[in-house]
Structure 1
Amino acid sequence: MGGHTATRPKAAFCTGHIVRHVVVMAGTGAIGLMAVFIVDLLNLFYISWLGDPALTAAIGFSGVISYVQIAVSIGLSIGIGAITGRLIGAGRMEQAQRVASSFGIFMIGACLVIGMFTAWLAAPLLALLGARGEAARQATLFLEIVSPGLPLIAAGMGCSGLLRAIGAARISMNVTLMGAMISAIADPLLIVVMGLGLKGAAISTILSRLAVAVAGFLCARRHGLLALPVRTHVITDTRLVAQVAMPAILTNLATPVGGVFVTHAMASFGLAAVAGQATIDRIVPVAFAFVFALTGSVGPIMSQNLGAGKLDRVRATLVASLWLVALCVAITWAVLFLTQDMVVQVFSAQGTAAMLIHLFCNWTIAGYVFIGMLFVANSAFNNLGFPLYSTLFNWGRATLGTIPFVWFGMKFGPAGVQVGQVLGCVLFGSCAVMTAFGVVRRLHPGDRATQQAMPVIPPAQTGEAGMIELDELDHST
């Protein structure tokens, strides 16, 4: 009994200082997320050493499709984190374990199907992006190797989301750091020393994802977050999490879909423009890892406090997150402004590619304040029972906030494409955060919207004896 209680998940965010919770969760989440994207950055760094623009462009083209796959994985992990966090906040620990295990099976199966189909359709998908010749051939090879390994990164992200849901932020961070360490060792060996080029980058990515999956599973099991699924509940459990996960996937897919249009627009200006965009696309997730991490990190804080009925702490979490976004963007802008020449040299950028990097470091980086606002608003929507709002705003940014602005910007060359992409974010980020404050203001104990978002617990009953069957919870969520 004692051993079991030691690993029992606890609602850690329902007490203590909100700002501290947000900083710790987002800080450790940022390091973990940075580790995931450093794998891509290292691939680009060592490939750029080879001095072949076709290989650098191939990384850019394959990266757009890889981001679509990662977006699905992130959406699934948001769903599993939000629902288990809400159940833990409501005191239903055993139910949280069962739901996590049931949905974990679905996650791995769905990502295996997506990965295999991507590998099969790699060449025609890359042709749609404007990839031609050697760049297209190399990008196809990369995707054919990496895509079948999508279930590995999905499993790792899912377990990491579960660990964040109970506040085990440092352990969640260590899971993803494991992948970055493997990549840091394997990349130079496979790409440069063994001369495998892009094939070596793909093998390194698979090894990194395998490390994340194994480490995540072992840590989640050790912390009592997984249990044997109950066959009769697998479909019901999956449907419950899917209510958050599916809109979250649609939300996350919007960003790479918008990226597809931007990449296609850049491709019309030549390989140097694609290479410059690819470099920025890999700098951004590392430089703004804290901002991106807020989406996954403040979710468990909001969902636990919603589950516990502490709505004042939900509002405080939203405000603290927005202040931290502004601070983070200001610091990152200052650092990249001062080091922009070094960034250009490190990635061997020349001509159009160098111009795009300088434009980003000097001016367009400021737009990430509004992207951060959108991400924080999405987290609030996903975890407070309004996931379709996040889908609406993200797709609005990816379509109405990207296509007309980028199309007009193309008249001014590749620089106009980059500026157009940022201007759309200003509009949709501002509208999203105002809507999020409206949603939080309307949350009151006992009202219909709050009851729909919050699991209902029988009076004076918690734990196993007070469990509500999942079909009841399904209606209340």
Structure 2
Amino acid sequence: MPDQAKLTQGSTLKHVVVMSFTNALGLMCMFLVDLVDMLFLSLLDEKEALAAVGYASTVMFFTISISIAVSVAATALVARAIGEGRIEEAKQRAVSVLVFGVLFSTAIVALLWPNVPMILSFIGASGHSLSLASGYLHILVLGMPAVMVAMISSGIMRALGDARRAMYATLIGGIINAVLDPIFIFSLGLGVEGAALASLIARLSMVLVSYYGVVYVHNMLGKFHISHFCRDIRPICVIALPTMLTNMSSPLGNAIVMEHSSTFGDDAVAAMAIIGRIIPVVFGGLFALSGAVGPILGQNYGAGHFDRMHRTIGSAVFYAFGYCLVLCTVLYLAQDWLVAIFHATKGTADLIHFFATYASFSFFFQSLLFIGIAVFNNLGKPFNGTLLNFGRAILGTWPLIIIFGWFMGAEGVLLGQAVGSVIFGCLGFFLGRRYIHTLEKKETRDLRVGNNRAYDDPLL
């Protein structure tokens, strides 16, 4: 059990780097296995297999985004309580979010499973690709409750500042997946369905590792009480539901891109599927940034340390720029190798080259958006993050990829996405910084008149 809010002390840059790096290692390991899936499936010499996994992964991104949203609620609520010194309250909130997550994810599976072929058809899958994608997704979607528990447990540990142990679940799950992939795909001859089975078993293993950290290492689960659960549903929903919409806007944008790419043929779809696997592996450190900044902001807001909150935002930008500078250079230098290992056709290879050469640095601006969304999600205004991300997914994607695609073909789809990221990244960061200044002024004003922040806190 924590005896202090460790993120309220020490260097903010160190906290950002450590929290981001450890979270990124876990995420990149998980996504690296997805990339290995694509590599193994490319060896089957079946172009439809790559396209099928691309279609199915677009849907799986929705389910993973839902799990991440509930874990954000766990991180925000537990971190705030820890920062305020209310340990028992933090434990009650932790168990409430876990129960909420299991119930909600089970309901999603019951709704999604029978409608898999219809959903895949809607985003452009057809023929043999539809058949393969349906088999893949029918297996993988059954693991959603396991992913939910693992994500929430990792979010609780991040709220405590234990990013290293939070990393272990995805790291071990990724290793298990990588070991089982060639066995199921080739040795047992299961192909695409074998890749799905390997991923399902790996996700079940993640539950054991993450749950052990929360229960036996930190002793951070209180006893379940229905009255506490009913009380906590409101603050959970205040964060989780808007964050869920925020996270689903990214796969919505990806679905829009995948559907529009399908008009350029299977080569374009296969390229987008490969790029979709490359992005989380290369830029996992940026996707981890929001989860790293959130608990730091939450603990320091609970403790009333606004100076550290401002420094945290600056540290996050510094980290993101350095990360992009290094990784975009590596991606540029490795583009021919990526084309070779995926046995890409000329049309697919052209898109991979275009992404690595021109579009990749737009992820720095996406990181600015992630920082702004982390501010809103963890400081009581998650709906603002929802509007920003939906704005990027729709206004920053749909019209731009249509316009650029009209003039440049499939390459214009990638360029349109990049331009939208620049616009909404700058906007999101500006609004996030302004919101912290607003909270600071309100806190100062309330202290002068003797008001208690908790009376009008939307998270309580």
Alignment pair present for 1:190 and 2:190: no
Stretches of structure 1 lacking an aligned partner (at least 5 in a row): 1-6, 458-467
2:13 match = 19
Instruction: Report 1:312-351 matches (<5 A).
Output: 312-351=307-346
1:429 match = 425
1:389 match = 384
8 A contact 1:118–1:143 mirrored in 2: no
1:240 match = 235
CA RMSD, 1 decimal: 1.8
- Equivalent of 1:37, from 31, 37, 43? 31
Report deviation, 1:244.
Answer: 1.2
Count of residues in correspondence between the two structures: 455
Distance 1:54 1:325 in 2: 36
1:413 match = 409
Distance 1:65 1:132 in 2: 15
- Equivalent of 1:353, from 345, 348, 354? 348
2:248 match = 253
* Amino acid in structure 2 at the alignment position of 1:91: G
Distance 1:10 1:39 in 2: 36
* Amino acid in structure 2 at the alignment position of 1:314: M
1:476/1:213 CA distance change after superposition, 3 Å: closer
1:393/1:448 CA distance change after superposition, 3 Å: farther
1:419/1:11 CA distance change after superposition, 3 Å: same
Amino-acid identity (%): 34
Distance 2:38 2:191 in 1: 11
* Amino acid in structure 2 at the alignment position of 1:418: L
2:145 match = 151
Distance 1:61 1:431 in 2: 31
TM-score (norm 2): 0.96
1:199 match = 193
Distance 1:342 1:476 in 2: 48
* Amino acid in structure 2 at the alignment position of 1:89: G
Report deviation, 1:102.
Answer: 1.1
Distance 2:445 2:183 in 1: 55
Distance 1:95 1:419 in 2: 47
TM-score (norm 1): 0.92
Greater mean alpha carbon deviation, residues 404-413 or residues 53-62 = 404-413
Stretches of structure 2 lacking an aligned partner (at least 5 in a row): none
Report deviation, 1:238.
Answer: 2.0
Instruction: Report 1:16-415 matches (<5 A).
Output: 16-222=10-216, 223-411=218-406, 412-415=408-411
Greater mean alpha carbon deviation, residues 114-123 or residues 372-381 = 114-123
Distance 2:452 2:81 in 1: 10
8 A contact 2:113–2:138 mirrored in 1: yes
* Amino acid in structure 1 at the alignment position of 2:56: S
8 A contact 2:380–2:457 mirrored in 1: no
Distance 1:424 1:398 in 2: 8
Give runs of ≥4 in structure 1 deviating > 6 Å. Answer: 448-451
Report deviation, 1:409.
Answer: 2.0
1:444 match = 440
Instruction: Provide, for residues 280-317 of structure 1, a one-character-per-residue CA deviation record: whole Å limited to 9, x for no partner.
Output: 01110110011110111111000000000001101110
Report deviation, 1:348.
Answer: 1.4
Report deviation, 1:115.
Answer: 2.0
Distance 2:168 2:78 in 1: 21
8 A contact 1:102–1:237 mirrored in 2: yes
